[in-house]
């Protein structure tokens, strides 16, 4: 059954009550998943790529699992309701994994959303897994440009509330927009994003999932 826009907003309003914005008590995650969806019209390929985080003298990231699901979305593109296009395919891909991720890194927003319930929150709540969002651009809020060095950050503020961080992941590159999804604090979300972005602007989880969903869409 396809939801109307009003029904989808009501679902967001109901589910957002379950968002937890404090840290999970488990250790730093060993298995971290990147999630992304590529589109060709209403057809999509939803990808989840799981990386193992090996913490030694330096952090190494190795792919250990992936799943790609093809499908056709039944929900229109509506700003603020993008999760209703992406969640079904991403959940289906998560269910095909052999390795269960301990953290979901979404290509999108979490609390940095008009109703404080973006894709990262939605996926976190429906799966029960810790999650965070990393956006390439700001969807909502006001912010100041952070310093130019890796690790410098400024607050992303919406209606007087801090809903995320504007984070410089590499020296003198454009920042990314980090926000809490579920069962992760904002400070920890920033730490995880920096750990997952040792060389490039975007986390390796995001880069891997982006390639996987594009490749999946190209397959016929």
- List the binding residues for Mg(2+): 36, 107
Contact 109, 119 (CB under 8 A): yes
Cα separation, 131 vs 151, whole angstroms: 20
Helix ranges (DSSP H) in 4-118: 5-15, 83-95
Here the tokens at position 151 are 């690790």
**Which amino acids are annotated as binding site, given as ranges?**
36, 107
- How many helices (H) and strands (E) are present in the chain, helices listed first? 5, 8
Quote the distance between the C-alpha of residue 26 and its chain's center.
20
End-to-end CA distance of the chain: 28
């Amino acid at each position: 059954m396809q939801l109307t826009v009003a029904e989808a907003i009501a679902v967001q309003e109901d589910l957002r009550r379950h968002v937890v914005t404090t840290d999970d008590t488990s250790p730093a995650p060993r298995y971290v998943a990147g999630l992304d969806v590529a589109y060709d019209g209403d057809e999509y390929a939803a990808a989840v790529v799981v990386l193992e985080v090996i913490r030694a003298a330096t952090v190494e990231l190795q792919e250990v699992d992936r799943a790609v699901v093809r499908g056709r979305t039944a929900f229109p593109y509506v700003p603020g309701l993008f999760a209703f296009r992406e969640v079904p395919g991403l959940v289906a891909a998560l269910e095909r994994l052999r390795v269960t991720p301990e953290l979901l890194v979404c290509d999108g927003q979490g609390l940095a959303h008009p109703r404080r319930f973006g894709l990262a929150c939605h996926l976190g709540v429906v799966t029960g897994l810790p999650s965070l969002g990393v956006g390439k651009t700001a969807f909502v809020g006001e912010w100041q440009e952070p310093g130019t060095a890796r690790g410098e950050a400024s607050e992303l503020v919406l209606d007087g509330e801090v809903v995320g961080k504007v984070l410089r992941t590499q020296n003198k590159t454009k920042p990314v927009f980090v926000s809490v999804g579920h069962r992760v604090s904002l400070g920890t979300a920033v730490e995880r994003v920096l750990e997952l972005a040792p060389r490039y602007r975007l986390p390796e989880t995001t880069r891997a999932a982006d390639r996987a969903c594009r490749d999946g869409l190209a397959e016929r």
